């Protein structure tokens, strides 16, 4: 560009001054361009950083799924002639569970197991198939658990508690192992452990579940 300018027919005296002026404005312009360029790059990098931070705290941030035991119903309970649960037939309970997934990706979980305790002894279990809670949705599922009457009856203190007509207190322990995979960038194993306490009056068939304790490891 400066060469092109030089070819222009101009008064020699004026040419020298103009060239100096032009050179200085040009370098100043170049400097300004450089500053603008630097500024632009910094701004773009800053915006990118902000976007990444925001993404990190929102979309890419893996949050704890929340499992809620909504209610428990008796699916099968067979009593003998004396009104005592038959020892050869399991008591089957159905737990309606909701899995709230606050993540921007689905939460896939493997088989779940639920253990039932009465008086500290394991008296039954439930196994459930794998599932998927969609992104930012709450899924509902039914989990069935078998309580083995003979195991319950074998617990010391059962007969007195049962004959008094009081509700029996059961503890449940559910473990859900799963994974949250966000756009194949973030992959995180999620383990949810849920401890619940349920009081079950076998005579009246009344079931009450107390708030559960959830522990999640991400």
List of residues contacting ligand NAG (CB under 6 A): 90, 94, 96, 110-111, 117, 124-125, 127, 140-142, 146, 148, 173, 195, 213, 215
Compute the distance between CA of residue 199 and CA of residue 209 in angstroms, rounded to an integer: 6
Q: Which two tokens stand for residue 138?
A: 């709450």
What lies within 8 Å, CB to CB, of 3 at 6+ separation is: none
Nearer CB in complex with ligand NAG: 18/181: 181
Compute the distance between CA of residue 64 and CA of residue 213 in angstroms, rounded to an integer: 14
Find the shortest distance in angstroms from Cβ 75 to ligand NAG. Answer: 8
Q: Which segments of 58-113 does DSSP mark as H helices, in order?
A: none
Nearer CB in complex with ligand NAG: 6/208: 208
Nearer CB in complex with ligand NAG: 71/136: 71
Find the shortest distance in angstroms from Cβ 99 to ligand NAG. Answer: 11
Find the shortest distance in angstroms from Cβ 157 to ligand NAG. Answer: 18
Find the shortest distance in angstroms from Cβ 155 to ligand NAG. Answer: 15
User: Is the distance from CB of 152 to CB of 118 less than 8 angstroms?
Assistant: yes
Compute the distance between CA of residue 119 and CA of residue 168 in angstroms, rounded to an integer: 9
């Amino acid at each position: 560009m400066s060469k092109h300018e030089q070819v222009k027919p101009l008064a020699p005296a004026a040419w020298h001054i103009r060239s100096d002026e032009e050179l200085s404005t040009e370098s100043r312009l170049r400097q300004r361009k450089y500053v603008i360029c630097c500024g632009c790059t910094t701004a773009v990098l800053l915006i990118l950083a902000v976007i990444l931070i925001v993404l990190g705290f929102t979309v890419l941030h893996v949050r704890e799924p929340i499992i809620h035991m909504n209610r428990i119903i008796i699916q099968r309970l067979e009593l003998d002639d004396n009104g005592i649960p038959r020892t050869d037939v399991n008591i089957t309970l159905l737990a309606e569970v909701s899995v709230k997934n606050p993540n921007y990706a689905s939460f896939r979980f493997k088989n779940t197991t639920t253990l039932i305790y009465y008086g500290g002894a394991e008296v039954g279990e439930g196994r459930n198939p794998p599932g998927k809670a969609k992104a930012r949705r709450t899924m509902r599922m039914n989990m069935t658990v078998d309580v083995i009457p003979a195991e319950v009856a074998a617990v010391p203190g059962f007969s007195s508690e049962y004959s008094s007509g009081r509700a029996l207190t059961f503890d449940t322990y559910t473990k859900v192992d799963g994974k949250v995979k966000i756009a194949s960038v973030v992959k995180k194993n999620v383990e949810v452990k849920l401890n619940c306490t349920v009081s079950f009056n076998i005579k009246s068939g009344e079931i009450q579940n107390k708030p559960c304790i959830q522990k999640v490891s991400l």
